[in-house]
Amino acid sequence: MPVPDSLSPQKLTQTQYTVTPERRNGRVSGPSQVRDRWIADLTARGVHQRWILFAGLAGMFAGGFTFTVLAVSLKSIAADLDSRETTMAWVVTAPILFSALALPVLGKAGDLYGHRRVFLLGSLFSTALSFVTAFAWDAMSLIGLRVAASVVGAASGPSSMALIFSAYNPEERTRAMGWWSMMGAGAPAMGLIAGGPMVEFMGWRMLFIVQGVFSMMALVFAWFVLIETQRQRVRLDVWGSLLLAAGAGFLMFAITRFAELGLGSSWIWVSVVLGFVFLYAFVSVQRSTAEPLLPLNFFSRRNFTAPILSGALQSGAYMGAFVLAPFLLQDVFRMTVASASLFMILRTLTLTFASPVGGVLGSRVGVRWASMIGTGTVAFSMAVLAMGTANAWIYVVGAGLVLQGMGQGLCGPSLNAAIASSVPEESLGIATAANRLVNQVGTAFGIAILTGIYDSPFGYQPAFFAGGGMAVLSVLAAAVMKRDERSP
């Protein structure tokens, strides 16, 4: 079987994976020699890029399957640790916030020092912290350990995506991202299905032990399969990293807390002002330094800026509705927490199965049209949810959730692939990290907007229409992307 172009000898040289004379002559024994022979065999059979994809998906599953089950288990965790439920909510929200702020630094570190190295180190420390988290002694220790594990584990996000992009040619990346998006949706769904009974019968601590075992298995598999990527020969922009983290952190604080504190709060306005001040300083530093954290000329490329903006707006609408839907099912349709969780799986399973279809769609019709079709489906789903809410039609609400999952699955692979194909190979880490950071900000904004409207006298319907407005803006941003060639 011929070796695909994306992993030809030239590609292996570009990614800086070489078999030294000592290894070739058998002077290096042990796991390293076994690994060399394993990779050489996979490459000769033309399946190495597929195994790299499997390694990235395995790491993603190990890190992501606890999210949903933790969210629905906070009440029992709070009772076990003798803490308030509002305090325990930080077990979910704090890791999201701090890992988002760490993404640009970790993505750039992969560009500078090699994504395989960053991925393995992040997975190693995250695995160790998973086991330690099982022995948390109070609420603060649990929150702190979860934050630490999420920050170091965040390295696996941009680095694994960069490793996959490096292995696949640009025309093949959209399909690979379809499987990536499928795992991103499937891991939390599996956590909800299998993790719920585990927490109920064996306790929440067992969840982190199982996660540690899965992470260890994924780490060993990745060590044998992954090859190093091309590195940049520059220094890490420390000042740029600090300024970007500070600016994004203050803005995310203002976005996530304005619904609770109100727009009249001085904390909100001080955070907004400081956020923009730090971001302005970040832009100034990037313009003046010879080795910027994020080259600003990337934002002049339509297929970099447009999909990042489209993805952030679409994620805001999608996740805002994700937070509101359980409230709707319990308030309007009188469902229990358990039945509402099972009903929500409709959306997650649809997303899981639609993501590979989205990868194929992007390859066939181009990333621009696939992104517009997917984001347009999300916009339409918001109207369906509003109609189902107004008339108390549970089947219509279910159809809206299915359409949401379908839209997310159809547009996600193309948006990610467009961003990766718009930057040089050596900048894939910081590009994907910037995408995920902006995506997190959009998610926080969408949740704050939709829940804020819901908490006001307006209720569910206007909140869903607001999400639909965000999704329509996402369609318009996707339309700005360049037309691309269809893959054969």
* DSSP codes of every residue in 349-392: HHHHHHHHHHHHHHHHH-HHHHHHHHHHHHHHHHHHHHHHHHHT
What are 226's two structure tokens? Answer: 């992954």
Q: CA-to-CA distance for 95 and 144, rounded, in angstroms?
A: 9
Band (11; pLDDT cuts 50, 70, 90): very low
What pLDDT score does 193 carry? 63
pLDDT tens readout for residues 126-140? 889 889 988 888 888
What angle, rounded to 10 degrees, do the helices at 48-64 and 156-167 form?
A: 160
Model confidence at 400, pLDDT cuts 50, 70, 90, reads very high
pLDDT band at 466 (very low <50, low <70, confident <90, very high): very high
Alpha carbon distance 484, 361 (integer Å): 13
pLDDT of residue 395: 93
Taking residues 24-31, what's their average pLDDT?
A: 51
Amino acid at 346: L
Backbone dihedral region for residue 114 (phi beyond 0: left; psi -120 to 50: alpha; all else: beta): left
Mean predicted confidence (pLDDT) in 158-175 = 76
Is residue 396 over pLDDT 90? Answer: yes
Are the beta carbons of 182 and 409 closer than 8 angstroms? Answer: yes
pLDDT band of residue 86 (cuts 50, 70, 90) is low
Lowest pLDDT segment from 233-237, 389-393, 462-466: 233-237
Q: pLDDT digits over 254-302, tens only?
A: 877 776 677 777 888 888 899 899 889 988 888 888 777 778 888 888 8
Phi-psi region of 262 (alpha: psi -120 to 50; beta: other; left: phi over 0): left
Of 71, 33, 374, 41, give the one whose Cα is nearest residue 195.
71
The listed range with the strongest mean pLDDT (103-107, 223-227, 363-367, 456-460) is 363-367
H-only helix segments in 422-459: 428-455
Instruction: Reply yes or no on whether the pLDDT at 166 is more than 90.
Output: no
Report the Cα 4 to chain-centroid distance in Å. 28
Q: Please give the angle made by the CA atoms of 162, 56 and 406, to the nearest 5 degrees.
A: 90
- pLDDT at position 107 is 77
Cβ proximity of 152 and 123 under 8 Å: no
- Closest to 91 measured CA to CA, from 137, 36, 150, 35: 150
Tokens linked to 445: 């904004």
Look up the pTM and report it. 0.73
* pLDDT for res 473: 96
In contact, 233 and 245? CB cutoff 8 Å: no
What pLDDT is attached to residue 420?
A: 82
Amino acid code (one letter) for 261: L
- For 111, 144, 155, 220, 320, the CA distances from 161, given in Å and listed in that order, are 12, 27, 10, 18, 25
- pLDDT of residue 18 exceeding 80, the answer is no
Distance in angstroms (rounded) separating the CA atoms of residues 38 and 267:
56
Structure tokens at 191: 């956590």
Nearest to 246 by CA among 286, 271, 275: 275
Residues 6 or more apart in contact with residue 360 via CB below 8 angstroms: 175, 178
Q: Which long-range contacts (CB under 8 A, 24 or more apart) does 147-153 make?
A: 147/94, 147/95, 147/98, 147/99, 149/95, 149/125, 150/95, 150/96, 150/98, 150/99, 151/95, 151/98, 151/99, 151/102, 152/121, 152/122, 152/125, 152/126, 153/63, 153/99, 153/122, 153/123, 153/125, 153/126
DSSP letter string, 70-130: HHHSHHHHHHHTT--HHHHTHHHHHHHHHHHHHHHHHHHHHHHH-HHHHHHHHHHHHHHHH
Out of 26-35, 42-51, 88-97, 212-221, least confident range: 26-35
Report DSSP letters for 190-211, one per residue: HIIIIIHHHHHHH-THHHHHHH
Per residue in 294-310, pLDDT tens? 788 888 888 899 999 99
Q: Please tell me the predicted confidence (pLDDT) of residue 371.
A: 93
pLDDT for res 225: 82
Does residue 52 contact residue 115 with C-beta atoms inside 8 Å?
no
Q: Quick: pLDDT tens for 186-216.
A: 666 666 666 666 666 777 788 888 888 888 8
Which range is least confidently modeled, 318-332, 409-423, 464-478?
318-332
Tokens 């959209």 -> residue: 174
| CA–CA distance, 350 with 381 (Å, rounded to integer) | 13
What pLDDT shows up at residue 306? Answer: 93
Average pLDDT value for residue range 464-476: 94
User: Are 432 and 107 within 8 A, CB to CB?
Assistant: yes
Runs of H (alpha helix) within 262-366 = 266-288, 302-331, 337-365
